[in-house]
Amino acid sequence: VRFSPLLPSLFPSQSFFWILPVALVFLLCPSSDACGEPPTFETMQLTGQLKPRYEVGEQVDYECKPGYKRKPSSSTSTSCGEDGTWSSLSNDACSKKSCPVQPDPVNGQVNLLNGSFEFGTQVKFVCNEGFYLIGKQILHCQLTGSDVRWSGSPPQCEKILCEPPPQIENGRYTPEKDVFEYSEVATYNCNPNPGSDKFSLIGQSQIHCSGQGQWSSDPPQCKVVKCPYPVIENGRQTAGFGSKHYYGATVEFECLKGFYLRGSNLVVCGSNGTWQPPIPTCSKETLPTSTKPPTSEKSTCTKSPTTSGKPTSNEGSLDHKDLDEWIFAFIVITFILYVRI
C-alpha cells in the first residue's frame, strides 16, 4: 500500500486535535481522588488558608464565628473522602452566645421581643402604671469584639410626680401642696366677686396629674360671663326665669297660639356671652306638610262573582284544558268521516 505524500503532514495535525481536548480535561477537571473547596457554614469559618484542591484524607478545621460558641462534644473538622466529597459536618456545631439575663426592673417588667437573650435579640422595658422610664426602653444583644453585650445599661422606673398646677386669676385650687402624685386631683373654684356680677368657672373644674410633670388639661378660667335678656316675639319664656343670665344658664320658650316655633325651644348661655343655639322665632307660617297622596287601605276580602250578567275577565275565554278537548274531538270526528267515505 502506497501512502500519499500529504498523509505524513496531515496525521500529526489530526493527532494534535485529538490530544488537545484530552489534555484540557485532565488540566481543568480534578481527578476523582481529590476534593474541591470545603463547605461554608453560617456559624463557622475556616481556620487555615483556603485551597482550590485537597488530597484524599486531607483535613480542614473550623472555628466558631464571633458571637457564636462551640457546643460540647461537637466536631468542627471535616476530611476529603476517596469519593471526592467532604465528610459530614453539622452547622449546629456552634450556637449563638447569650447576653446576661435581664431581670424585671423595680416597678416594671422586661419583655423578650425575640423570645430569648441570644446574640441579635432585643428586650423592651415597660413601667407599671404610675411610673415612668428613665433610660433606654429597648436594648440590643450585640457583638463587642469576640463577645456579646447589651447595647446599654438597663433603665429604671421612677414614680410619676407633678408640680402644683397653675394658679388662675379670680380663683384657686385645692388641696394646696408642693407635690402631686400620679392621678391625684386638683379642684378649682372661683372667688367671690366684689362687684355686682359673679365669676363663672369656664372649663373643667378638676384636673389630675397624668404624667411626669404633666396635667390632664389646662386649668379653667374665672370670669364674668352674662348673656342678654332673652326676648322672643309672639312667644314667651316658660323656664329659666331670672333678672340675669350667667354662663351655663338655660332658658325654654314656646310660641303663642297661632304661631309656630322655628329653632330650638331650649338655649344655653355660652362662654362667649351669647345664647347657644340662637334664640328661636315664632312665625305664622305653618311647617311644611307631606305632599305624598294618602294611601288607600287594601281590601282583605276576595272579589265575589258578578251577578250583573256581564262576563268577568275570565268568562268567554278558553283555558288550555278546554282547548285540548276541542282538538281531540275534532280529530275523532275527522277520522269517522274519513272511514265512512
Local confidence band at 145 (pLDDT 50, 70, 90 cut-offs): confident
Q: Which of 176, 201, 223 is the last residue of a domain?
A: 223
* Claim to verify: residue 154 and residue 193 sit in the same structural domain: no
Q: What is the pLDDT of residue 78?
A: 95
Q: What is the pLDDT of residue 259?
A: 95
Q: What is the pLDDT of residue 213?
A: 95
Total number of domains in the chain: 4
Mean pLDDT (whole number) for 133-155: 94
* Claim to verify: residue 141 and residue 168 sit in the same structural domain: no
Asked if residue 181 is part of any domain, the answer here is yes
Q: What is the pLDDT of residue 61?
A: 95
Position 307 pLDDT exceeds 50: no
Please, what is the average pLDDT of the chain? 83
Position 189 pLDDT exceeds 80: yes
User: Quick check: 79 and 57 in contact, CB under 8 A?
Assistant: yes
Worst-scoring range by mean pLDDT, 155-159, 285-289, 314-318?
A: 314-318
Q: What is the pLDDT of residue 296?
A: 43
When comparing pLDDT for 227 and 286, which is higher?
A: 227
pTM for this prediction: 0.60
Position 24 pLDDT exceeds 60: no
Mean pLDDT (whole number) for 111-122: 94
Q: Which one, of 74, 2, 84, lies nearest residue 37 by Cα? A: 84
Q: Is 117 left (phi over 0), alpha (psi -120 to 50) or beta?
A: alpha
Q: What is the pLDDT of residue 327?
A: 73
Mean pLDDT (whole number) for 39-44: 93
* Claim to verify: residue 173 and residue 136 sit in the same structural domain: no
The most confident of the ranges 5-19, 30-44, 64-78, 169-183 is 169-183
Which grid coordinates belong to 174? 385645692
* Claim to verify: residue 78 and residue 39 sit in the same structural domain: yes
Q: What is the pLDDT of residue 341?
A: 54
Q: What is the pLDDT of residue 315?
A: 44
Q: What is the pLDDT of residue 302?
A: 40
Which grid coordinates belong to 320? 288550555
* Claim to verify: residue 202 and residue 154 sit in the same structural domain: no
Asked if residue 10 is part of any domain, the answer here is no
Asked if residue 195 is part of any domain, the answer here is yes
Query: How many Cβ atoms sit within 10 Å of the Cβ of residue 58?
Result: 15
Its domain, for residue 151, covers: 108-159
**Dihedral sign, CA of 316, 317, 320, 326?**
positive
Q: What is the pLDDT of residue 285?
A: 76
In percent, the amount of the chain with pLDDT more than 70 equals: 75
